[in-house]
Amino acid sequence: MIDKFKTVSLDTMIDKHVGKRGTKKRDAFENELRIDLLGQAIKQARQERHLTQEQLGELVGVQKAQISKIENSIKNARFETILKVFDALGAKVNFNVELA
């Protein structure tokens, strides 16, 4: 029997289904992925500090629902609120801006 499955890299699959690097669709995909990772990082930091969403919300001055939204989809969160979340978690924030 001939092996019908071929191993391909993740980059190859993304190139094929999303688009090559530098295209609008690929840039949008990668930006959304970074945003999702940021929300996951906030959730992980909160859990490592043994805080509930409600407790973190109290530290930040927002409702539990806002913390949930930030952890699950940071797209609609205010930048100021995100910075307050990092501050409440005692997280160091570094920004890297690259001009293309």
For residue range 28-76, list pLDDT tens digits in order.
888 778 778 888 889 999 999 999 999 999 999 999 999 998 898 777 7
The total of other beta-carbon atoms located within 10 Å of residue 3's CB is: 6
Task: Give the max Cα distance, the chain.
Answer: 63
* pLDDT in the model for residue 2: 62
Q: Residue 58 gets which letter from DSSP?
A: H
Euclidean distance between CA atoms 52 and 34, whole angstroms: 24
Identify whether 5 is part of a domain. no
| Domain-embedded: residue 67 | yes
Q: 41: domain CATH number?
A: 1.10.260.40
Q: How far apart are CA 6 and CA 2, in angstroms?
A: 11
Please check the confidence at residue 82 and state whether its pLDDT lies above 80.
yes
Q: Which domain holds residue 20?
A: 10-89
Residue among 82, 59, 86 nearest 69 (CA): 82
On whether residue 32 sits in a domain, the answer given is: yes
Q: How many domains does the chain have?
A: 1
